[in-house]
A and B are shown apart, each in its own frame.
Chain A
Amino acid sequence: MSKTTLPDMDTFVAEARAWLASVATPRATRAWGVGSDSVAVFENWTAEQEHAETDRIRAYEQAKFDAGWGALDWPEEHGGQDLPVSYVLAFRREEAAFDVPRRTEMFSVTQQLVAPAVAQWGTAEQRDRYVRAMLRADLIACQLFSETEAGSDLAAVRTRAVQRDDRWVLTGHKVWTSGARVADIGVAVCRTDPGAPKHAGLTVFLVPMDSSGITVRPVRQMTGGASFNEVYLDEVELPDDYRLGPVGKGWNVALTVLSAERLDSGNLGLPNADRAVELARHLGRPLDALERDRVADLVTRSYVQRLAGMRVAAALGAGKEPGPEASVGKLLATDTMARTSEVARMLLGPELTVDSGRWGTWAWTEHVLGAPGYRIAGGTDEIQHNILAERVLGLPKEPQA
């Protein structure tokens, strides 16, 4: 599908860098001790802050899209550039070196997980309505997947969608929905056939989050803030053209969303790992041997996580499907995050436990308390292990209920 004549990669990178330099400052030149010291993994924002920050990031994403740097690997019909994914990764590599607004997970959910699923499963009209708007971040999507009784075992969802006249009526209770307060669309996995085997009775809907019958309640999480929510759907009525994919194919649609996460978790945790190394350099006292060892260990982990990303990029650039190096990505990321916590704790000691008001110290509580969330969100570490063992190594599947 890509263009037959591709732009020269060096030129592309130089132009990307030039554009980035016109909208942001390079990250490496940012002085230590000034500006924001946030290393939050999940933001502790009020509803107003969440809206304001989302708008700020959206403005950058829109500028990027309009300048031709968003949606690089998307076809022109969706406002893309029709380039191979290697160009996306090259751009991200450059972007990572600049102090651009840090995308919350809602942007990757919208642009990298949901937009492709709509492009794959949507009708022509749905594609027109949503894909470009999601890529440009005009619309933000959230995942209405998990429920109290359906977490890792997503196919156990109970939220019902029943057909009444020419409309669907959705009723149920979703939990842990990140970004529901700012999302325009909720991608809801619902049970449409309670009689069918559990994976076969599911259907996915694109639910406008301002529909009547929807109540969003923030759930306070262990960081103290509320980046996820519970969402009640009480007789939410939708016309049939809000259904994504065929009735009964909800499991396949959901898998499309979930497997897109693979490529996307690649860079997760790296900026904070870099910050922890910076912290070590600016501690104002010499490190002892054990501390130096742990900081260097963190460097090896973030270095190798970057290499894994480069291997995926290189394989894609060469027109090949990446190998297992892509599937281990999320585990590398959660590992990097855990080691970052270890280093922060070791270096800061009591400064991490009592807010002294000093720049760049207490702020690390947001990393240390937030990192455990990523071992759970988006497929737990244990589920990742199951996936590696079964899909990559070919070992027997877990028993299914």
Chain B
Amino acid sequence: MKSLARPWPEASPSLLAPVAEHADLRAVVRQILDDHASHEKVRVSAESPLGYAPELWKLLNQEMSLSALAVPEARGGLGYGLRELGVVLEECGRALVCEPVLASAVLGVQSLLRAPEGVAEELLQPAVRGDVVVTMAPLEPGHVDAVAVGGDGWAVHGRLPRVLQGGAADAVMLLAGTEAGPALFAVDLRDAPVRREELTTIDLRRRQAALIFEGASAALLVPPERAHEATAVLHDLARASLACEHVGVVDRMLSMTLDHVSQRHQFGRPLGSFQVIKHRLADMLVDLERSRSAARYAASVWTDDPKGASLAADVAAAVCTEATLRATADAVQLHGGIAFTWEHEAHYYVRRALGDEPLFGDARGARARIAEQVGV
């Protein structure tokens, strides 16, 4: 790999300018989530058999065309990008919703879009409308093999150990080995010979399932010769998207903790008047601003140049993963005993931080890739 002489953000600062449209979008999503995704409501949805609320998922797709947001107009979408989707993801992280926004509206839809027009269109169109849930398995080789079965048909065999929303998804995008190397496929899970094993997860609001294929038919999205590049682009997408969610988590931890230390008194004064508490919150603010800068930049760069976003996405992943772990841990500490109860919402965020850490590679992994890119 050619190493970057200057490991600097190279895009123009205007990319990070505040955009009125984004503020409007944020206000709309926040309103919807305030109305329909209170902690109690989300808890109930997360514990339901499906693991999320189909009504809210429908609402998000109907009211704001969530799954169509970052899809080109030519493919039936609204023609925005990850920049805008990032705003939605921040809000979803903040409210910690359990709907398949990351899995379907981001990863599933964008992996389908890696295919040339006309391929798997019967999945893309309903996915863009939010009528079906599509997901992307971790793009690691070695789990699944694909064999050609005549015409342009393929059949897949193997076991995917952890697939986001694998239990509820109607289709999954996956990397499967072929004679010519790994390639990207779509498997329609409806009526296919697939076994699903719902998994018990540390994150109570993001379901995962194992999927076992015994000859399910698959559509080739990206052939082996282009799969490497497509995989890299999708990895960067995954990291940048998760980083956006994390901005919302850190933001929520800060505001929740700020409220708490302002209201609760000990020793006759608000907790927030103790300097050690003030400084911990100032550190959380620094973490939040670092995360915001990194995640928004990565989302913007991926929008404009998906093949040139690796460094930005890895920086965002490294920064936001660690910020989320710190902010959730500090939020618990600064709330005291109440935050250690099952009833309190803090542990859902702690669990999200823990579950997300290895999801698309941890901070150390991100830094290892950064080291490679800068040539050290």
- Out of B18, B261, B279, B370, which one reaches A318, CB within 8 Å? B18
Q: Which of B266-317 contact A (CB under 8 A)?
A: 269-270, 272-273, 275, 277-279, 281-283, 285-286, 288-290, 292-294, 297, 311, 315
Q: Of all chain B residues, which has the CB nearest A282?
A: B376
- Out of B279, B292, B364, which one reaches A389, CB within 8 Å? B279
Cα A203 to Cα B214 in complex, Å, equals: 84
Q: Whole-angstrom distance from the CB of A40 to the nearest CB of chain B?
A: 22
B13 within 8 A of A: yes
Q: Contacts A292-B376, A308-B293, A310-B13: A389 and B282 contacting too (C-beta < 8 A)?
A: yes
The B interface is mostly helix, strand or loop, or mixed, namely: helix
Contact call A385/B7, Cβ cutoff below 8 A: no
Contact call B278/A310, Cβ cutoff below 8 A: no
B258 within 8 A of A: yes
A255 within 8 A of B: no
A274 within 8 A of B: yes
B9 within 8 A of A: yes
One digit per residue, 1 when the CB lies within 8 angstroms of any chain B CB and 0 when it does not, for chain A 317-346 equals 110100011001001100000000000000
Q: Of all chain B residues, which has the CB nearest A297?
A: B367
Q: Contacts A317-B14, A395-B262: A324 and B289 contacting too (C-beta < 8 A)?
A: yes
Q: Whole-angstrom distance from the CB of B287 to the nearest CB of chain A?
A: 9
Cα A394 to Cα B285 in complex, Å, equals: 12
**Top 3 A-B residue pairs of the complex, sorted by shortest distance between their CB atoms:** A389-B278, A296-B367, A310-B13
Cα A309 to Cα B13 in complex, Å, equals: 8
Interface size on A, residues (CB 8 A): 52
What are 6 of the A-B contact pairs (CB < 8 Å)?
Answer: A97-B6, A303-B7, A310-B297, A314-B13, A324-B285, A389-B272
A313 within 8 A of B: yes
Cα A86 to Cα B17 in complex, Å, equals: 11
B199 within 8 A of A: no
Other A-B contacts than A287-B371, A317-B14, A395-B273, 18 sampled, CB-CB below 8 A, are: A277-B374, A289-B368, A293-B367, A296-B371, A300-B315, A303-B311, A309-B13, A310-B9, A311-B293, A315-B18, A382-B279, A385-B279, A389-B281, A389-B282, A392-B285, A394-B258, A395-B262, A395-B278
Q: Whole-angstrom distance from the CB of B43 to the nearest CB of chain A?
A: 29
Q: Whole-angstrom distance from the CB of A382 to the nearest CB of chain B?
A: 7
Q: Which residues of B contact A314 (CB under 8 A)?
A: 13-18
| Chain A interfacial positions (CB closer than 8 Å to B) | 28, 86, 89-90, 93, 97, 274, 277, 280-281, 287, 289, 292-293, 295-297, 299-300, 302-304, 306-311, 313-315, 317-318, 320, 324-325, 328, 331-332, 382, 384-386, 388-390, 392-396, 398
Q: Which residues of A contact B311 (CB under 8 A)?
A: 303
B126 within 8 A of A: no
Q: Which residues of B contact A280 (CB under 8 A)?
A: 376
B5 within 8 A of A: yes
B95 within 8 A of A: no
Q: Which residues of A contact B262 (CB under 8 A)?
A: 395
- Out of A306, A328, A393, which one reaches B289, CB within 8 Å? A328
Q: Contacts A89-B13, A299-B7: A393 and B282 contacting too (C-beta < 8 A)?
A: yes
Contact call A281/B375, Cβ cutoff below 8 A: yes
Q: Which residues of A contact B8 (CB under 8 A)?
A: 302-303, 306
Contact call A318/B17, Cβ cutoff below 8 A: yes
Contact call B9/A396, Cβ cutoff below 8 A: no
Q: Of all chain A residues, which has the CB nearest B3?
A: A281
B318 within 8 A of A: yes
Q: Of all chain B residues, which has the CB nearest A390?
A: B278
Cα A281 to Cα B272 in complex, Å, equals: 45
Q: Which of B338-363 contact A (CB under 8 A)?
A: none
B289, B293, B370 pick with most chain A CB within 10 angstroms: B289
